[in-house]
Chain A
């Protein structure tokens, strides 16, 4: 079996409220990825469109985007796995290419969340969980992660201070990322000053500073077989490992709340396929929809032992100069989290890092990178390992 490479990446700016329609939003990422790969539309054999349909007014947006991208009559389809839709799309693109069915597949993710109110979007997000048995109790996504934060704090002594350190790191790198929605740096004062909005309780123990914000945005990743990747690209980045797993939607079906079992399983699969270990990862993008999510990712991916994730951030080892740089593009916490676009944006960051094109946040000589993209509260988990070689 040959290798599968990523030959083009693109991303729109992530913004609070995009002044345009979904096709125009997605086009920003599409055109950037096509120019990055120096391709024309005839070079694309198929497209996969990723979003979370509860935010879309357009039914079956894949056909609309394929037309707007100029990708008729090539086949297209729509995939979703909540917030991990983007990497699920790339996983399918990998299999379409590896099967020999297509040579070059384009994956575009988008979300325009600004068309509905924040309360509506929270309610819809809550419906990504169990609507029959949990939503009648008034659930929403921050509360699901809060259940895990409470368990982690009780079991391991993790503190709000540790979580705040993760947000401060995120803000540091968000300020350097011109595609991020939130670009101001933060100090611990924002998390101790009761006047600060970041200390507003959302779902205990999580506070506003622990939560990412809704955003409008789009991402695009172009995947090719080895022959085409080498022909089209001077610096193809190879997909070395793919892992994907699921876990119980209903919280009553879980044995442990101090981590995400699906992330552990997906990580194991990806490490095994790539034949690498956690210590081999030079730079990682993890799904920090909440600060606790990043902390659990450190442990679930093997960057720290269970319960020792807080020690990593306390020692600043997940900064660009540390042992394992994590989310040095600002992560979801600073970039914003346009559901369907998030996975592709994470992959773009790692591709730029491995090419040495990541700008101010470049990790020196990064050759192996990891992407951890979670759907819901660990209902779906995708882990992808990328490499220069």
Chain B
């Protein structure tokens, strides 16, 4: 990437992204590879999701990427019947918080899951989803 080009990769995150430039832009490249990545502070070992560029304990930016893997436990959820501008055609959709043990993740549920079958405490996994040519997101999926 040329020096004068603006690295706005993060504009590709989600249906509508309000942020385009961030020090953790590599998150998008990992999504392209099918990986959902958090960061870990190499100085103190603290894990972060969403990924952070800076550690507020060590006061430095000595970070490494670490994949969110395995199964998580559904903490809470809500199905939306009204949406902010840009999301109207997606309705209804479900947002959720899932605890993967080493970190919690906020995100959307795979629309293939019947919202009526949801129960706090159930197991879910996480996977990358391509919304279109450009936009990428991650979604929680049913564990078969």
Interface residues of A (CB under 8 A from B): 119-120, 122-123, 126-127, 131-140, 142-143, 146-151, 154-155, 200-206, 250-254, 257
**Complex Cα–Cα for A272 and B118 (A):** 41
Among A136, A147, A205, contact of B13 (Cβ-Cβ < 8 Å):
A136
Q: B77 near A: Cβ within 8 Å?
A: yes
Q: Choose among B50, B81, B107, B119 the residue that contacts A202 (Cβ–Cβ < 8 A).
A: B81
Nearest CB of chain A from residue B135's CB, rounded to whole Å: 9
Do B81 and A201 have beta carbons less than 8 Å apart? yes
Report whether A148 and B19 are in contact in the complex, using a CB–CB cutoff of 8 Å. Answer: no
Inter-chain CA distance A333–B139, complex, in Å, is 34
Contact B120 A151 (CB under 8 A): yes
Partner of B79, one of A148, A154, A155, A204: A204
Give residues in B with beta carbon < 8 Å to A.
Answer: 10, 13-19, 22, 49-50, 75-88, 90, 93, 95, 97, 103-108, 115, 119-120, 137
C-alpha spacing A375/B75, complex, angstroms: 23
A131-B19, A132-B50 known; A138 vs B77 contact (CB < 8 Å)? no
Please state if A136 and B15 are interface contacts (CB–CB under 8 Å).
yes
Contact of B87 among A131, A132, A138, A150 (CB under 8 A): A138
Q: B128 to chain A: closest CB distance in Å?
A: 14
Determine if A135 and B16 form an interchain contact, defined as CB atoms under 8 angstroms apart.
yes
Q: Which residues of chain A are within 8 angstroms of B14 by Cβ–Cβ distance?
A: 135-138
A138 near B93 (CB under 8 angstroms)? Answer: yes
Across the interface, do B97 and A251 meet the contact criterion of CB distance under 8 Å?
A: yes
Residues of B within 8 A of A154 (CB): 76, 119-120
A132 touches B97 (CB 8 A): no
User: Are B84 and A123 closer than 8 Å at their CB atoms?
Assistant: yes
Evaluate whether A138 and B84 lie within 8 angstroms (CB atoms) in the complex, with A132-B50, A252-B50, A252-B103 already known.
yes
- CB proximity of B30 to chain A, nearest CB, Å: 15
